[in-house]
Each structure stands twice: as C-alpha cells, then as structure tokens.
Amino acid sequence: MNRAETELVKDYNLEAGRVLFTQKCDFMISAASYEQLPETNLPEIAFAGRSNVGKSSLLNRLTGHKNIARTSNTPGRTQQINFFNLGEKLILTDLPGYGYAKAQRSVVDKWTLLVNSYIKGRAQLRRVCLLIDSRHGIKSTDLEAMSLMDSAAIVYQVIFTKCDKVKREELKNKLESTYQLLSKHVAAHPSIMVTSSFKLQGIEELRATLSELTIR
C-alpha cells in the first residue's frame, strides 16, 4: 500500500469513528452482579484501569457527552459495571477502578469477583481498553489485570491517559518500556494509544480504532 492509499484508509477510519461516536449514547444499567449483566448481541468494549485513571473523562470525550459517565475526584467511585449503548452499534462498559487502597476489603472482593466473571464469561466482549496514567506508567495492580486478561484470552489495548501532564521525553521513555513489557503478554494488543481528555489528544484516533470493532 503506497502513501496515498494509506492516507485514504486513515481518513476513512477517522470518518467512520467520527460518525459512530456522534450516535446517541444511552445509559443502560449499572450491574452489581453477574446476574444483572444485560443480554445483548452487540459487540462490547470495556474500559478498565486504576481508580482515578480517567475512565469516565475519556468516555465522556469519546461520546461527546459531558456527563454520560460521572466523573469524580474521589477514587473508587465506580463500584458497578456501567453499560452504555452507542447507537445500537456498540456497547461501552465502564468497569470499577482497581487499586484503591482505602476501599473496604469486602468491597474490593466484590468488585474483583464481578469484573473477573464479566471478562471471562462475556462472549461479545471484543476488547478491553486498559487505561494507564501517563505520569505513573504500569503498576503492580495493572499487571494483575493484564494477567487476568491473558488467562482469559481477551485482547486488551493499553491507552495512556493524561499525556498533557507529562513532558515529551518522559512520555517517550514510558512508551518504550511499556512496549517492551507488552511483548511478553500474549493477549496484549501490539499498539499503544496516547490520549488527553483535557486537550482532546488522540480522541479521534481512538474513535477510529474502536469503530473497527463494530464489524461483526
């Protein structure tokens, strides 16, 4: 494929992503148990990450809604799996944040069981977007989540968030070390996406990538 053809494909994908994410996005349900998960034949994309990594902010930017997912400065606010229907084309799920040290052990155990059951038992789950704070990189709790998805053979893609808060050289170093780490994980998608919900960096590209997963 020559450069002109590559640019044409890129433009097509960007437009497909734009069109998809201009569709109406409706909140469906907050599931507190596996039995409450909604029955649907639509492909699903889950957003996972440490508490306060920016999942809700990213979902709001992707869908163009200010409050489709509630944001909070309080870590651990999301305690259920929140489902959103994007134009009857795609289901977006906001998973409970992990790694919040102040959460009660019983609450953490409940989150863990719910998320594990969802990831291992959801046939329509196409990909997990694993959000990583650009300032901190991958932590031990992220590695635990990666191991879970490796064992479940669920493809996950690392999405760096808050890249506007990191200097360019530091971000470059974190990307290089993360690429090396991902090469050792069987279910990890080979590419990393870099985003900033505040400055809209990488949002169009992420929309384009996710739109490709709607093809059934």
- What would the pLDDT profile of 149-167 be if each residue is shown by its tens digit? 999 999 999 999 999 999 9
What does the pLDDT read at residue 72?
A: 43
Annotate 145-169 with b (16+ C-beta within 10 A) or e (fewer).
Answer: bbebbeebebebbbbbbbbeebeee
Q: Is 128 helix (H, G, I), strand (E, B) or coil?
A: strand
As a whole-number percent, the residues of the chain with pLDDT over 70 amount to: 90
In the chain, what are the domain boundaries? 3-214
List the structure tokens of 186. Answer: 């069987």
- Cα-trace Rg, the chain: 17
75: pLDDT strictly greater than 50: no
Taking the complete model, does pTM exceed 0.85, yes or no? Answer: yes
Contacts of 214 (CB under 8 A, 6+ apart): 20, 43, 89, 90
Q: What is the pLDDT of residue 101?
A: 52
Question: For 15-32, what is each residue's pLDDT tens digit?
Answer: 999 999 999 999 999 998
Residue 74 is predicted with a pLDDT of 46
Residues 6+ apart with CB under 8 A from 72: 56
Q: How many CA atoms lie within 13 A of 139 on its CB side?
A: 14
Give the tens place of pLDDT for each residue, 49-64. Answer: 998 899 989 999 999 9
Beta sheet of 90-94, edge-to-edge order: 25-31, 81-86, 90-94, 44-49, 125-133, 156-161, 193-194
Confidence class for position 67, pLDDT limits 50, 70, 90? confident
Least confidently predicted of 26-30, 85-89, 108-112, 125-129: 108-112
Q: How high is the pLDDT of residue 73? A: 46
Burial per residue of 24-41, b for 16 or more beta-carbon CB atoms within 10 angstroms, e otherwise: ebeeeeebeeeeebeeee
**Domain covering 3-214, topology:** Rossmann fold (3.40.50)
Q: Does position 82 have pLDDT exceeding 90, yes or no?
A: yes
